[in-house]
Amino acid sequence: MAERTVVSPVWLGMEQQRWRRLTSTWMMVMLLLFPILLLLGAFMRIVQANLLPTLLPEWFYAVMTLHGLGMVGTWFVGAMAAVSYILTQYVRPSRKVSWTALGATLLGVVLLLATTLVGRFGVGWYFLYPLPFYPAGIWPTWATWAFLFSLAILGVGWTIWAVDLLRAIAQHYSLRAALAWHYIRGETEPEIPPAVLITTVSLISALSGFLAAVIILVLSFLEWAGTGFTNDALLMKNLIFFFGHVLVNITMYLGVVLVYDVLPRYSGRPWKTNRIVAIAWNTVLFLVLFAYFHHLYMDFVQPQWMQVLGQVASYLISVPAAVVTIFSTLLLVYGASMRWTLSSLLMYLGVMGWAIGGVAAVIDSTIAVNLRFHNTLWVPAHFHTYYLMGVVLMLLGFAAHFGLEVSERPENGRLAKLIAALFVIGGYGFLSMFYVGGAHSVPRRYAVYPQEVMQGVDYARIALGFIAVLFLGVLLYLWETGRRCALAFRTSESS
Amino acid sequence: MSQVSIFYLFVVLAVFIAFVFLLVGRSTRQVRDVAYRAADRMRKVFFFTLTGILTVFLGITLPRMPYPAHGQLPDQVVHVVGKQFAFAISETPIETDEQWEEVSSFAPPVKVSAGRLVEFRVTSFDVNHGFSLYAPNGQLLAQTQAMPGYVNRLRMRLSERGRYTVLCLEFCGSAHHRMRGVFFVE
Ligand code: HEM
Ligand SMILES: [Cu+2]
Ligand SMILES: [Cu+2]
């Protein structure tokens, strides 16, 4: 039984131990940041519930920026680390690069903490140009600099990391083969595991997103350096949303890699690349470039063909996800002699959350609907669904799998079910208040709700109860899995 | 469709998905083989149904894009300029910071005629803001971004009379939630 679940790298012994140490370090960083960032989210709901009436609103916005960037970053690096570990079955990524990325990430986090919690830098997670340059008396100049600097560090660290993974794949398969075009032609040699295909698609997109980020940073530095040059607001918006959209989407795809690779170990059925899988993921590679236009529907000056293309691409990109990944997950589980563990439960629920969040996203990607949903609470509603109830569950499922496999300590089946139940009740309850808020015209990113949208206060209060339930689930999860990851760290060889 | 009915549509779809996942999850209590042929047929049916439904919805919703049509003239033009942290709304153009100050602090609220085609010409003097129309009953009717260097034109026919509130719908800094404007439909 234990044999079947183990991720075995192409090399064993010392090298395997070192990968375990690296991966357990990443998992512990992820599992440490998660509850802290969750509490920052709870803090925002407390403020919106009017329970801290004397708090200055700039603190809300600084915390919002930290929570948003922190969460997006944490799940991205968590997914990269988990996928790297999975890929060691097939290829040889560099451990050194991953440790370097960890160093860059920690440095970036420290700078980000300083800019937001000391500097009160509050621009929201996607720092829409030109807001960083208009502090309205709140944050000092050094905070903007430190922020841009921390983005640059993170950007460099993560780009090197993505490039190294692609290098490892290319050395073993060649990138063309890794994209599985030969499957589309009907050949099945060389065999490409789905994890390799999806990672390749994700990382190519990631690099295009990071390129946009570099352009944003360079343009910002140019303007900020006082050369008299000013940027075009519409161009900057396009670049920023392209970057943000790609970063969020590839995090989801990397989460899906984990499901493709780990869930079959619990269902006892294989999940192989075939023609449909190859077509689906190559379609995604293409469409993800155009779907980002849906962030700019309310910029009426954007050329109209882009708006139409945005809606068409956003609608169509849901087809490969639904018909291939979600349908196949159901097929993998249907009537299988499934071992329901904490890991397989969370991953299965994660695919469900991805599907539900996807429906909410497609609804909002309708231009005529976006006219009334854009920047209301519907937006955090849908992205929290596919993050919190999607990618996060997939990654927590991976960490549970990893902890179980390395520590070899059997888990408590009852506790696993209890944790899953608390996540579902707390998570969807918390989300429902965002959705109800969006349906009742409550704007997103309001520290205090004005009298026209007072209903937002009640929704925030109800959400707090659900957040408490979720937090309890997270604590139990950390007790189960955090311990195992720590054990994995202690018992694995240091490099 | 109002926001609330779209919300219900979403709830129905979400419950359906959860139900399917629950059924499939429970099916593992009794181990059985999957008939892959039948499953492939089902996948094809699913593919064509989903693509069909999405295409129909594209057909229904794309013609309802809110962007101004060519060759049609509005009955009334209203100028809107956002700036940290207020909207200046006026029937005459606002071109300087002084005019903006004047309009946003002292000018009486603009009056728009009910049922006529109004064009809001929306821009910003500093960062991005979001111009929105909240009806007297508190429902968000429409919005467009207020962007520095660009003018977004939002056209509307407002039939319900009364006081409309403009809330800022793009995060613009520490007083974003206090940024507002007002006008009347008569
Ligand atoms: C229980 C856990 C969580 C709670 C209580 C929570 C709470 C919140 C709240 C209250 C907001 C502000 C909503 C508004 O616009 O008014 C927010 C924004 C946000 N959250 Fe969460 N959140 C949670 C988990 C997550 C997760 C897992 C992610 C993963 C990426 C995430 C990412 C974000 C982002 C990106 C924003 C937007 C920040 C911005 O507008 O700049 N959150 N969250
Ligand atoms: Cu504003
Ligand atoms: Cu604002």
State pLDDT tens for residues B107-143. 999 999 999 999 999 999 999 999 999 999 999 999 9
Residue B90 is predicted with a pLDDT of 97
Please name the residue ranges forming H helices in A174-232: 175-178, 181-184, 194-224
Q: How far is the CA of A69 from the centre of ligand 2 (A)?
A: 21
Q: Which of A419, A399, A429, A412 is nearest to A349 (CA)?
A: A419
Mean pLDDT of A220-233: 87
Confidence of residue A1 (pLDDT cuts 50, 70, 90): very low
- For residue A337, give the nearest of B31, B67, B177 by CB distance: B31
Confidence of residue A9 (pLDDT cuts 50, 70, 90): low
Instruction: DSSP letter for A443, please.
Output: B
- Regarding the beta carbon of A382 and ligand 1, being less than 6 Å apart is answered no
Residue B58 and residue B146 share a domain? no
Q: CA A361, A194, A95: angle at the middle one, nearest 5?
A: 100
Residue pair A63/A121 in contact (Cβ under 8 Å)? The answer is: no
**Residue A362: its chain B contacts at CB < 8 A?**
54
Residue B104 and residue B31 share a domain? no
Q: How far is the CA of B168 from the centre of ligand 3 (A)?
A: 4
Residue B53 burial (CB count, 10 A): 11
Residue B171 and residue B102 share a domain? yes
Confidence of residue A491 (pLDDT cuts 50, 70, 90): confident
Q: Are the Cβ atoms of A441 and B139 closer than 8 angstroms?
A: yes
pLDDT more than 90, % of chain A: 89
Instruction: DSSP letter for B165, please.
Output: E
- Whose alpha carbon is nearest atom 35 of ligand 1? A68
- For residue A333, give the nearest of B25, B140, B169 by CB distance: B25
How many angstroms separate the CA atoms of A178 and A282, rounded? 11
**Residue B141: its chain A contacts at CB < 8 A?**
372
Lowest mean pLDDT, pick from A155-164, A286-295, A403-412, B46-55: A403-412
Mean pLDDT of A395-400: 97
**How many domains does chain B contain in total?**
2
Residue A189 DSSP SS3 = coil
* Residue A352 at interface with chain B, using a CB cutoff of 8 Å: yes
Please report the atom of ligand 1 found closest to the CA of residue A125.
41
* Residue A314 at interface with chain B, using a CB cutoff of 8 Å: no
Q: Are the Cβ atoms of A130 and B126 closer than 8 angstroms?
A: yes
Q: Does B69 fall in a domain?
A: no
Q: Are the Cβ atoms of A300 and B153 closer than 8 angstroms?
A: yes
Question: How many CA atoms are closer than 13 Å to the CA of A175, on its beta-carbon side?
Answer: 11
Write the CATH number for B133: 2.60.40.420
- State the pairing for strand pair B117-124/B152-157: antiparallel
pLDDT of B186 higher than 80: yes
- Whose alpha carbon is nearest atom 1 of ligand 1? A38
Residue B48 burial (CB count, 10 A): 11
pLDDT of A156 higher than 70: yes
Residue A224 is predicted with a pLDDT of 82
pLDDT of A29 higher than 90: yes
Residue A361 is predicted with a pLDDT of 97
Residue pair A298/A374 in contact (Cβ under 8 Å)? The answer is: yes
CB within 8 A of B136, min separation 6: which ones? B160, B161, B162, B163, B164
Q: Which of A326, A332, A492, A470 is nearest to A408 (CA)?
A: A492
Residue B10 and residue B82 share a domain? no
Strand partners, B77: B119
Strand partners, B133: B142
Which-ligand-closest: CA of A446? 1
How many angstroms separate the CA atoms of A103 and A443, rounded? 37
Mean pLDDT of A11-23: 85
Residue A372 is predicted with a pLDDT of 97
pLDDT of B76 higher than 80: yes
Confidence of residue A12 (pLDDT cuts 50, 70, 90): low
How many angstroms separate the CA atoms of A27 and A343, rounded? 14
Mean pLDDT of B85-91: 97
Residue B106 and residue B164 share a domain? yes
Q: Tokens 């379609």 correspond to what residue?
A: A283
Q: Does B70 fall in a domain?
A: no
How many angstroms separate the CA atoms of B163 and A282, rounded? 51
Residue B162 and residue B117 share a domain? yes
Confidence of residue A494 (pLDDT cuts 50, 70, 90): low
How many angstroms separate the CA atoms of B174 and B171, rounded? 9
How many angstroms separate the CA atoms of A48 and A42, rounded? 10
Mean pLDDT of B59-85: 94
pLDDT of A166 higher than 60: yes
Q: How far is the CA of B175 from the centre of ligand 3 (A)?
A: 7
Domain boundaries, chain A: 350-495
- The strand order across the sheet containing B129-134 reads B110-112, B180-185, B162-167, B129-134, B140-146
**Residue B134: its chain A contacts at CB < 8 A?**
441, 452-453
Which residues fall inside 5 Å of ion ligand 3, going by CB? B 129, 168, 172, 176, 179
| Residue to probe by mutation, ligand 1, list A40, A64, A72, most atoms within 8 Å of CB | A64
In A, residues 82-121, which contact B (CB 8 Å cutoff)? none
Closest-approach residue (CA) in chain A for B164: A452
Range of the domain at B149: 76-185
Mean pLDDT of A145-171: 96
Residue A8 is predicted with a pLDDT of 65
Q: Does B50 fall in a domain?
A: yes
Residue B147 and residue B82 share a domain? yes
Four-point Cα dihedral A21, A26, A28, A31, nearest 10: -150
Lowest mean pLDDT, pick from A230-234, A380-384, A483-487: A483-487
Residue pair A398/A427 in contact (Cβ under 8 Å)? The answer is: no
Q: Are the Cβ atoms of B43 and A376 closer than 8 angstroms?
A: no
Q: What is the pLDDT of residues A252-300, one digit of tens each?
A: 999 999 999 999 999 999 899 999 999 999 999 999 889 999 999 999 9
- Whose alpha carbon is nearest atom 19 of ligand 1? A68
